[in-house]
Structure 1
Amino acid sequence: MNRTDPVTDFYLRQIPGAKLHNNVLTADCPFCSRNSGQSGKKHPKGEKALVVFLNPESYFHGYYRCLNRCSPGGFPLHFARQSHLDLSLAPGFDPDRDYAASQVNYPVKNINHEVLDFMDRMTDDLLDRFAQSGISRAVLQEMKIGYNGRYLVYPYVQADGNCYAARCVHPDKPEDNFWYGDEDFAQAGLRVFNLEDIQRCENGSLVIIEGEDNLLAIRQLGLPGIALPDISEFAHLETERLAWLKTVFLCVNHTPESIAAARELATRIGFKIRMIRWPETASRQFNLVQLAKEQGKGFHQAFFKLILEAKSFSPFSSPEREFLHLEEQLGLQGGENYQTMLSGLTKMDKALGGLHGVNIMGGLPKAGKSCFFIQVATEMARRKVPVIYYDFENGRQKIYQRTLCRLSRLSSDQLQSNTLTEQEQKQLTAAKAELRKLLPWFRVVTDRKLNPELMRSHIDFLRHESKSEYTMVVIDSLHKLPFKDFSERRTGIDAWLRHLEALRDELNVSFLVISELTRGDDGQYDKQPQLGAFKGSGDIEYSADNAMVLLPQWDPFSNAPPEQRENALWLVASREHTPGLIGSYQLDYPFWGFKEK
């Protein structure tokens, strides 16, 4: 006796003379005599009538059924109830479960006798039609399917074992249907075909199907399930009914509408759902009845293959997808696009390994932060790296003009002059042509109504236009990003940082972000580069892949010429690189750029 498996142990204890072979237990059905008066009745092929599936790795471990269909099968708790055993003997019994939530006030009058009359009126033609789908007379009788002379009658038996309403469907025109019986039991939420199987499958697995005939197909295989008449009912299914099920398989017709309804239901039910997916080659509207017709005797194997391949409706991506994504990222990182994510400044690229992830740079006012990032951004755009520059400091015109100065080697005053020499005019003409070429790759946004959704749409658009796997986003500056409430600035900055992290991970976006530095108690800025110098957000140290500080190495009150001004760029924190001095950058005056020394 396998003491390590309480389910197997339970059945071996409760079924005298049972035999276990290859994870299948067989025995005389203890319920046949009760239901038919024939003790020990065997299956027509001479087999024992009761079968219990006891593969611990199967979703249907512990499911039993009678091959004579004397009564519906189920899992151990249902076996205990059907056998009038003390429920505490059944594995998985929980005395604290409250079933009151599913109780309904049932009327005295039902349509049970009418259902039996409809069953007697089934015609040979209709039986043949079902047989073509592999659905036998025994299954139709088990499910009490009938005929009223014009419509097939599907009885919707309630949890108390009685039928109060039935759905009548024209055999040739399924769209021609109506409900018969007590209208209170034909309401949304109560229209669940074979509802009793939910309780029979407590602590086990159940299949939810779209359409009664599709359920009949899996009942032919001996599997438990319920059906909803159409996808509109999925929104009304009370998920509380499924609370004590362990696994729920969801199988709908192969249409976008059905799949969408199934996903909505799966979202409500949660982790226990496994979605049965049709092959991409399956035709529109393909369903289980069609699969049964197509496969014939192979339907059993084909459906269980779908069961085994069913995907969990998980909040996590599948392990297979995770591995494929890793392989894809490794391939991208070895590709040409990844290698082009460089600043063009040798020491900076060496220190950071290129511009990847969230890179935040702080600096004193007027230290040249914007000038530094404009130079890096436009140089990347010249190499056909798509760049979005979110500017809340300088204005679009000033950015373009400073870029033109740097490309042409002409000052701002010269650009506005009408007395350029012939050589200077050639330089300006060439610079304008260069600027025009890079503009498709360099988009400046000054909209102060920016929000995370709009930023994502900008990135999606430029990725699509440029056909690039990578995008650079420059934010000038972090503390001037729009917030709903200025009094919640700190919270707003942290929320933006979370959004940048998500874009980094989902869309391979790199960021260059300018941040302000905080003043000390004396009103002065700290001259020592450190992570704590960043203003307004403790989350920078957690969000930044690289945090840098640009510190002037010149006296703002000095009369030294601007071209002698130097800034030191420090890496103060990094996920992958060693902090320290990156390099010194001399102002390239008056051309709005920097030279790496």
Structure 2
Amino acid sequence: MKKTDAKTLKNCLPQWLREHGLPLHKPFACLNPVHRDTHPSMGYNEKNQTVHCFACGATYDIFDLVGQEENLTDFPSKMNAVNRRYGGGEVIRVTAKPTPIFPYKEGEGIPDPYFSGRGLSDETVLRFGLVVEEGYAVLPVFVNGVCRSVCRRAIDPAVEPRYKNSRGAMQLWNGAAIVRAVGSVLFVTEGIFDALSLEELGFPAVALCGAANTARLMKDLGGCAPVANPEKVVLAGDADEAGQGMNERLREQLTARGIACEVLPMPEGCKDVNEALVKDRAALQAACEAAATRRTEQRNPALEDEFLDYLSKRAKTAITATGISGIDKALDGGLHAGLTVLGAVSSMGKTSLMLQMADTLAAAGRDVLFITIEMSRMELIAKSAVRGTKERARPLLDGKLPEKKVRELISAYRQKTGGRVELWEPDAPLTPAFLDEKVSAFCESHTAPVLFLDYLQLVAPARAGMTEKQTADAAVAMLKQLARRYDMPVVAASSLNREAYRPGSAEPGMSAFKESGSVEYSADLLLVLKYRTDADKERRTGPRRLALTVLKNRFGATGESIPLDYEPEKELFRDGAAKTAPRTGRNVIR
């Protein structure tokens, strides 16, 4: 295939957007998989051929978007993928609408009693171009001396709408303060009046124009060399949940960037900075001066201390034994934090194996979320209840067992697992966003969680028009992110491609996942369940003689085949009778 140069390929972004039903001249839902964008906040930039989210700060070009779809990480692979789709074709150029300019000027504000009532002097009003028009206080937002957006706030609290802001995303208010604060102290607020209050007192201050706009500030700080950043940032979010959330997010991001920071303590009884200015100007002045001059601890902890802290947090989750000694031995103790994908042809027993693992982990004290899309919650409970007993799941589900026996089985299951397995059967299509919402809620309310998903290919597409492969890619990407975010084991069942089902086909290997999304690239541990031999496949009596093969192990050896005996009628997996084959891979980190 003839290759097109990267610059030309980059200009193919409009084609990609049109193919995905996304507009070019108005905002659309953010394409960042981890951003739950309830209000369209991403737009197309014709000048640099990117899309940018003004809420989370994500910026992508066509190489990023195609790479995200196909789970590619290196640029050559992304470029090849874009060339495969668009190389040699005609490039469509689309002219974006010009950025609006508003007729407000710096240094041309008009004093008004409303501003003096908010504690602002005429000098501050003039300096920042503040005016009152038609019952609204107009707060211009200047970028390089030009007004690019406007916040209008009703003077009378009873007037609706309360705010009449200019359309589109708001820029940072007073972004020039970042340059003024180089080598000194920068204050950060949510609202413009709070930043105006700090400027009134003589402190460089920038307003995010919304607590969720932290990414824009970090991007603007990132545009400077480290030596050109503020020496310290004082966070002055409102004394409510949104403001404290802003403070916390910025504290984490600034600390990671090596910028010292602290939170401005609000004077007692004040909900925000402007209220403090009006109620007790002297107290606010003292608090700001103390925050600006207070010495901070070392910007970055020693790497040794940081790593030891990480290990201490993982201490409770380090051992995740599955209860099957052959598996635990091959995997250095069991499942570890990261994404594990278990592949097999249908009816091989992958659901039963995962469910047995889940019950074992729960019995050992772990909190487990088992998401079932293929089978019902009651079917899974029946499988767990009869495991290792003389009873069978089908008669239990058909109501053929006496009530006393049913109660005994269910009670024994509940006591064994301690009620720590939540079997969740989604009541709506399980999109990646819905999956993120459910798992995040579970992880935030449970300690040392473990996630199981049955199964990967039944996750619903994030948006209309996505192919099966794109849908699976998005699901894998979300599972990977959840495993990293909560540092937990995530186990997902996966179907194999059509080739694995054909008579006489080779044993399933890495290539069996090629049509199942980006599994083979993203999984930390890739397992495939299959018959040990062709003769085992033909056996009709006794337990199924299976093997669990380690196709990929990011932090261990690959190639090991773990023998397992599976008794479907008992819903039970045991260690196989055959000896484990020697490891053939090298114990290296890949």
Quickly name the TM-score band, shorter chain normalised.
0.5 to 0.7
Match of 2:547 among 564, 568, 578: 568
Question: Does structure 1 residue 458 correspond to structure 2 residue 438?
Answer: yes
Indicate conservation of the 8 Å contact 1:396/1:444, yes or no: yes
Question: What letter is aligned with 2:435?
Answer: M
The Cα offsets for residues 63-89 of structure 1, whole Å up to 9 and x where unpaired, read as xxxxxxxxxxxxxxxxxxxxxxxxxxx
> 2 CA distance for matches of 1:486 and 1:565?
41
The Cα offsets for residues 281-317 of structure 1, whole Å up to 9 and x where unpaired, read as 8645486989995699x999835425x6499xxxxxx
> 1 CA distance for matches of 2:484 and 2:127?
55
Indicate conservation of the 8 Å contact 1:517/1:525, yes or no: no
Indicate conservation of the 8 Å contact 1:361/1:549, yes or no: yes
Q: Secondary structure at the match of 2:493?
A: strand
> 2 CA distance for matches of 1:370 and 1:253?
50
Alpha carbons of structure 1 residues 519 and 558: separation in structure 2 relative to 1, 3 Å: closer
Q: Secondary structure at the match of 1:590?
A: helix
Question: What letter is aligned with 2:110?
Answer: A
Question: Does structure 1 residue 578 correspond to structure 2 residue 566?
Answer: no
Q: Secondary structure at the match of 1:440?
A: coil
Question: By how many angstroms is 1:185 displaced?
Answer: 5.7
Which structure 2 residue ranges, 5 or more long, are not aligned? 1-99, 132-137, 146-173, 189-193, 577-590
Indicate conservation of the 8 Å contact 1:569/1:583, yes or no: yes
Indicate conservation of the 8 Å contact 1:364/1:525, yes or no: no
Indicate conservation of the 8 Å contact 1:568/1:581, yes or no: no
> 1 CA distance for matches of 2:543 and 2:409?
25
Q: With CA pairs under 8 Å and 6+ residues apart, which has the higher RCO, 1 or 2? A: 2
Q: Secondary structure at the match of 1:563?
A: coil
Q: Secondary structure at the match of 1:165?
A: coil
State the match for 1:189 in structure 2. 140
> 1 CA distance for matches of 2:441 and 2:206?
43
State the match for 2:8 in structure 1. none
> 2 CA distance for matches of 1:548 and 1:482?
23
> 2 CA distance for matches of 1:320 and 1:425?
61
Q: Secondary structure at the match of 1:333?
A: helix
The Cα offsets for residues 144-164 of structure 1, whole Å up to 9 and x where unpaired, read as xxxxxxxxxxxxx82xxxx66
Question: Does structure 1 residue 449 correspond to structure 2 residue 394?
Answer: no
Alpha carbons of structure 1 residues 457 and 319: separation in structure 2 relative to 1, 3 Å: farther
Question: By how many angstroms is 1:443 displaced?
Answer: 2.1
Match of 2:340 among 359, 384, 387: 359
Indicate conservation of the 8 Å contact 1:345/1:596, yes or no: yes
Question: What letter is aligned with 1:440?
Answer: G
After superposition, residues 110-509 of structure 1 pair within 5 angstroms as 158=107, 165-168=110-113, 174=118, 186=131, 187-189=138-140, 210=194, 214-215=198-199, 217-218=201-202, 225=204, 247=229, 255-256=238-239, 260=243, 277-278=262-263, 283=268, 285=270, 293=282, 302=290, 304-306=292-294, 309=296, 319-320=300-301, 326-335=307-316, 337-339=317-319, 341-352=320-331, 353-356=333-336, 357-412=338-393, 415=396, 430-437=408-415, 438=417, 440-447=419-426, 448-463=428-443, 467-468=446-447, 470-483=448-461, 484-485=463-464, 488-509=467-488
The Cα offsets for residues 444-465 of structure 1, whole Å up to 9 and x where unpaired, read as 2232511333333433444455
State the match for 2:567 in structure 1. 588
> 2 CA distance for matches of 1:102 and 1:217?
30
> 1 CA distance for matches of 2:444 and 2:507?
43
Question: What letter is aligned with 1:255?
Answer: D
Question: By how many angstroms is 1:417 displaced?
Answer: 9.2
Indicate conservation of the 8 Å contact 1:276/1:310, yes or no: no
> 1 CA distance for matches of 2:128 and 2:525?
67
> 2 CA distance for matches of 1:503 and 1:302?
40
The Cα offsets for residues 455-490 of structure 1, whole Å up to 9 and x where unpaired, read as 33433444455x42x222222221122124475111
Question: Does structure 1 residue 528 correspond to structure 2 residue 507?
Answer: yes
> 2 CA distance for matches of 1:449 and 1:433?
32
Q: Secondary structure at the match of 1:453?
A: helix
> 2 CA distance for matches of 1:416 and 1:183?
72
Q: Secondary structure at the match of 1:444?
A: strand
Indicate conservation of the 8 Å contact 2:345/2:500, yes or no: no
Question: By how many angstroms is 1:508 displaced?
Answer: 2.5
Question: Does structure 1 residue 512 correspond to structure 2 residue 491?
Answer: yes
Question: Does structure 1 residue 542 correspond to structure 2 residue 525?
Answer: no
Alpha carbons of structure 1 residues 305 and 409: separation in structure 2 relative to 1, 3 Å: farther
Alpha carbons of structure 1 residues 559 and 281: separation in structure 2 relative to 1, 3 Å: same
Question: By how many angstroms is 1:441 displaced?
Answer: 1.7
Question: By how many angstroms is 1:574 displaced?
Answer: 0.6
Q: Secondary structure at the match of 1:567?
A: strand
Question: By how many angstroms is 1:569 displaced?
Answer: 0.8
Indicate conservation of the 8 Å contact 1:332/1:338, yes or no: no
TM-score between the two structures when normalised by the length of structure 2: 0.55
> 1 CA distance for matches of 2:265 and 2:129?
40
The Cα offsets for residues 173-213 of structure 1, whole Å up to 9 and x where unpaired, read as 65799999999862421799xx9x97995988785684767
Question: What letter is aligned with 2:322?
Answer: S
Alpha carbons of structure 1 residues 489 and 212: separation in structure 2 relative to 1, 3 Å: closer
Indicate conservation of the 8 Å contact 1:231/1:261, yes or no: no
Question: By how many angstroms is 1:495 displaced?
Answer: 1.1
Indicate conservation of the 8 Å contact 1:215/1:227, yes or no: no
> 2 CA distance for matches of 1:489 and 1:184?
54
Question: By how many angstroms is 1:589 displaced?
Answer: 4.8
Alpha carbons of structure 1 residues 521 and 409: separation in structure 2 relative to 1, 3 Å: closer
Alpha carbons of structure 1 residues 275 and 516: separation in structure 2 relative to 1, 3 Å: same
> 1 CA distance for matches of 2:302 and 2:242?
21
> 2 CA distance for matches of 1:550 and 1:482?
25
> 1 CA distance for matches of 2:564 and 2:206?
71
State the match for 2:42 in structure 1. none
Question: By how many angstroms is 1:587 displaced?
Answer: 2.1
State the match for 2:79 in structure 1. none
Question: By how many angstroms is 1:492 displaced?
Answer: 1.2
Question: By how many angstroms is 1:493 displaced?
Answer: 0.9
User: Larger Rg: 1 or 2?
Assistant: 1
Question: By how many angstroms is 1:406 displaced?
Answer: 1.2
Indicate conservation of the 8 Å contact 2:185/2:292, yes or no: no
Of all paired residues, the percent bearing the same amino acid is: 15
The Cα offsets for residues 346-389 of structure 1, whole Å up to 9 and x where unpaired, read as 11012113212211111122222222222222222233322222
Indicate conservation of the 8 Å contact 1:546/1:571, yes or no: yes
> 1 CA distance for matches of 2:500 and 2:265?
66
> 1 CA distance for matches of 2:536 and 2:178?
84
The Cα offsets for residues 26-45 of structure 1, whole Å up to 9 and x where unpaired, read as xxxxxxxxxxxxxxxxxxxx
Alpha carbons of structure 1 residues 354 and 364: separation in structure 2 relative to 1, 3 Å: same
Question: By how many angstroms is 1:531 displaced?
Answer: 1.4
Indicate conservation of the 8 Å contact 1:519/1:525, yes or no: no
Indicate conservation of the 8 Å contact 2:236/2:264, yes or no: no
Indicate conservation of the 8 Å contact 1:529/1:570, yes or no: no
